[in-house]
Amino acid sequence: MWQNKWINGDNQPRTAIDAFLKADESFFPIIKDLLQILATLPCSTATPERSFSTLRRLKSWLRNSILNERLNGLALMSVHRDIYINSEDVINKFCLKKRNVHL
């Protein structure tokens, strides 16, 4: 039925997102789910591979002296280095945390 819907139609979808938007969920619920998965899949595996490579590099160099929260933060900063971070906001958030300094 799905194939017959698009064989004679002039308004065929060109992308997975177009097909997803035109799919009727009451008639084609599984196809709608498959199109949603297809539309959200990455085009390549470069980003996940880069993430694992970064995590491996960070984990090997800083293995003994790093907490899990800090490792996650450093990994996210390394992987998403194209996102702008306002240094003033970082400093202000750091200043709000309680410090365990014994003098």
User: Using CA atoms, how far apart are residues 35 and 41, in angstroms rounded to an integer?
Assistant: 10
Half-sphere exposure of 76 (CA within 13 A, CB side): 9
Query: Could you tell me what percent of the chain has a pLDDT over 90?
Result: 1
**In Å, how far are 23, 33, 37, 65, 74 from 62, measured between CA atoms?**
49, 42, 36, 6, 11
Q: What is the rounded distance in angstroms from the CA atom of residue 62 to the CA atom of residue 56?
A: 10
| pTM score of the predicted model | 0.36
Q: Using 50, 70 and 90 to split pLDDT, how confident is the model at 83? A: confident
Question: What is the pLDDT, as a whole number, of residue 2?
Answer: 67
* Domain ranges within the chain, ordered by starting residue: 2-40, 46-96
